[in-house]
């Protein structure tokens, strides 16, 4: 499955290979943004019901997320601010100083 995805992406980017690196990266960004937009549109029309417990968890997490501010510190480092506290998340290492990653 991974090979098919890679081949599909390579096929979409054949013409852009002749661009400068910045032009190429911009085309890749636009391609992925378009895919994300298309998929979010499809998902917005999907109606499935979650179990009550899972819906409560999802709602609770949504409320918590609204109270947080996320800032990029580095390629894989993020600062999350919540109620005057700051947490450092390292996606590369899979760690967070909150202890709940």
Compute the C-alpha angle 77/78/79, nearest 5°.
135
Mean predicted confidence (pLDDT) in 45-74: 88
pLDDT band per the 50, 70, 90 thresholds, residue 65: confident
* Per-residue pLDDT at 34: 92
- Residue 51 has which token pair? 């179990």
Question: Any idea which residue has 């998929």 for tokens?
Answer: 39
Question: Any idea which residue has 């032009």 for tokens?
Answer: 23
pTM of the prediction?
0.43
Question: Any idea which residue has 């968890």 for tokens?
Answer: 57
Residue 12 has pLDDT above 80, yes or no: yes
Cα gap 41→67, rounded to integer Å: 26
């Amino acid at each position: 499955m991974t090979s098919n995805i890679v081949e599909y992406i390579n096929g979409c980017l054949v013409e852009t290979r002749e661009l400068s690196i910045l032009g190429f990266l911009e085309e890749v960004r636009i391609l992925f943004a378009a895919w994300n937009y298309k998929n979010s549109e499809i998902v917005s029309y999907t109606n499935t019901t979650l179990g009550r417990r899972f819906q409560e968890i999802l709602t609770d997490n949504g409320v918590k997320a609204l109270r947080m501010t996320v800032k990029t510190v580095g390629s894989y480092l993020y600062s999350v601010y919540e109620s005057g506290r700051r947490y450092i998340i390292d996606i590369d290492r899979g760690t967070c100083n909150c202890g709940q990653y």
